[in-house]
Amino acid sequence: MKKVGLAVLVVGISLCASYGARLSPEMRAELSVSGMASLLGQTEKDAFKAWCAAGKGAPQAERDGCPSDAPPKAEAAKPAAAKDAAPKAAPTEASLVAEGQAKLATRRADGAGLTPDQAKARDAWLAAFEAQIAPSAKAKVALPTPPKQRVTSWFSESGLPFLLGLAMVVIGAVLARKAVKAEALSEAPRADGRGPVDFGVLLGELHAAAAALATRMDAGETAEAAAEAKLAIEAMQLEQFAPLVEARSKLQARYGLAGFAEVFGPFSGGERRINRAWSALVDDHWPEAHDSVNQAVGSLAEAQEALARVIAAQR
């Protein structure tokens, strides 16, 4: 059942995420315009670089804005932020095209004295420059599709397959949830071969280990006792806390999130106190380590009581 749920979810999410990502016709058109401007702009930049490389030393190259080999002149300090400048009137597509064409005409008129290779490179650049004038002007003034229209347009084109996929996601998730719950409630060994974990038994063993450590620590501080306590804590952290943490999903499925939180809150508090005892032992502070282990014992007892409560409530 879990695998079926997962399979339904995977198909569903593939469907709804694909159609969810689909662009509305307006967006496709918008991206086509900006894409054309960007790609032709890139071609123009490449052609410009080629012309600059070929036209080294030619006066036109400098007039066209090619970077010079000469050290850059010291720039005059930039004026302060244009706080007082009047805002410019918004350009139109026609005005931008006219501006581009005028630049092109000026540059074309400035072609005398070049070698054949230079002339070829410059002509290629000017052709690329001309090709991008209109698309670039169109992209600059194009108005984006308003958000509301994007939603309605996308939904009218992709809504049905999107909703179908979404329904499959929900169905798959519900099937998997049921399967996980059933698995948690079953006492049979799991598919991976590991047997069921009895949280209560493990928690009881952990509490007993912590209580025994606390009793040993009551005897007082010696270097040997500190070293022994540190080793005992490390063993508890790796061999007793870790499996209980691993078993938390089962506990949650069995007793619900609220019941799980009731048990795991004090359990985690106990874990943190044990961690603190370890740190205090490393820092050679026996009293803090001793207190922390005692507090951990209290927290773990609280977790045991909480577990008994949620089990009783479920019955």
Partner 1 sequence: MAEPDLTGGRAERAPYRELTVAAVVVGVVIGAIMTSAFVYVALKLGFGLAGSTVAAILGFAVLRGVLRKGSIVENNINQTVASGVNNASSGVAFTLPALFILGQQDPTIANFEVLPIMLSALAGSFLGIVFIIPLRKQMIELERLRFPSGIAVATLLKSPGAGARQAKLLLGGFAVATAFHVFVELGALPQELDIGAALGVPAYIPIAVGVSFASIGAGLLSGSGGLPFVFGALLAWWVISPVAVGMGWVPTPADVGLAGPTEAYEQFITWDVGYFGMLRPMGIGILIGGALSGVIASFPAIRAALKGLSMASKAGGSSDEMSSRVLYIGVALAMVVLFGAALLSSPDVGVGRALLIALVGTFWLALAGLIVAQATGMTDISPISGMSLIGVTLMFFLSGGNVVASIILGVAVSIGIGQCADMMSDLKAGHLIGALPRRQQLAQFSVAWIGVPVAVGVLYLLWGPEGGGFGPSNPELSAPQASALAAIIESLQAGAAPLDKYIGGAAIGLGLGIYPIGGLGVLVGLAMYLPLYITITYGIGCAINMGLERKYGLRWMGTTLVPVAAGFIIGEALTSLSAVLVRLAAG
Residue 303: count of CB within 10 angstroms of its CB: 25
Stretch that binds partner 1, among 57-65, 97-105, 150-158, 205-213 (CB under 8 A): 150-158
Q: How far is the CB of 164 from partner 1 (least distance, A)?
A: 12
Q: How far is the CB of 260 from partner 1 (least distance, A)?
A: 7
Q: How far is the CB of 151 from partner 1 (least distance, A)?
A: 5
Among residues 105, 85, 81, 101, which one has the least CA distance to residue 93?
Answer: 101
Q: How far is the CB of 205 from partner 1 (least distance, A)?
A: 16
Q: Rule CB under 8 A: is residue 24 a binding residue for partner 1?
A: yes
Q: Rule CB under 8 A: is residue 248 a binding residue for partner 1?
A: yes
Q: Please check whether residue 113 is in contact with residue 50, taking contact to mean a CB–CB distance below 8 angstroms.
A: no
**Is the Cβ of residue 22 or residue 107 nearer to partner 1 in the bound state?**
22
Q: How far is the CB of 216 from partner 1 (least distance, A)?
A: 11
Amino acid symbol at 23: L
Place of tokens 């072609």: 111
Phi, psi of 63 (to 5 degrees): -65, -30
Stretch that binds partner 1, among 60-68, 112-120, 170-178, 201-209 (CB under 8 A): 170-178
Binding mask 107-146 for partner 1 (x = CB under 8 A): ------------------------x---x-------xxxx
Report the distance separating Cα 92 and Cα 143, nearest Å. Answer: 12
Site for partner 1 in 259-288 (CB under 8 A): 260-262, 264-265, 268-269, 271-283, 285-288
Q: Rule CB under 8 A: is residue 90 a binding residue for partner 1?
A: no
Report the distance separating Cα 27 and Cα 31, nearest Å. Answer: 6
Place of tokens 């230079």: 118
Stretch that binds partner 1, among 27-35, 55-63, 109-117, 195-203 (CB under 8 A): 27-35
Report the distance separating Cα 240 and Cα 233, nearest Å. Answer: 10
Phi, psi of 310 (to 5 degrees): -70, -30
Among the listed residues 169, 209, 210, 236, the single contact to partner 1 using CB under 8 A = 169
Q: Please check whether residue 233 is in contact with residue 281, taking contact to mean a CB–CB distance below 8 angstroms.
A: yes
∠ at Cα 210 (206, 215), nearest 5°?
Answer: 145
**Is the Cβ of residue 242 or residue 308 nearer to partner 1 in the bound state?**
242
Site for partner 1 in 32-51 (CB under 8 A): 32, 34-36, 38-40, 42-43
CA 45 to chain centroid: 34
Site for partner 1 in 54-73 (CB under 8 A): none
How far apart, in Å, are the Cα atoms of 230 and each of 91, 132, 192, 211, 279? 75, 73, 34, 15, 9
Report the distance separating Cα 165 and Cα 13, nearest Å. Answer: 6
Site for partner 1 in 192-221 (CB under 8 A): 219-221
Stretch that binds partner 1, among 8-16, 58-66, 101-109, 122-130 (CB under 8 A): 8-16
Binding mask 95-114 for partner 1 (x = CB under 8 A): --------------------
Specify the 3-state DSSP secondary structure of 285: coil
**Is the Cβ of residue 115 or residue 222 nearer to partner 1 in the bound state?**
222
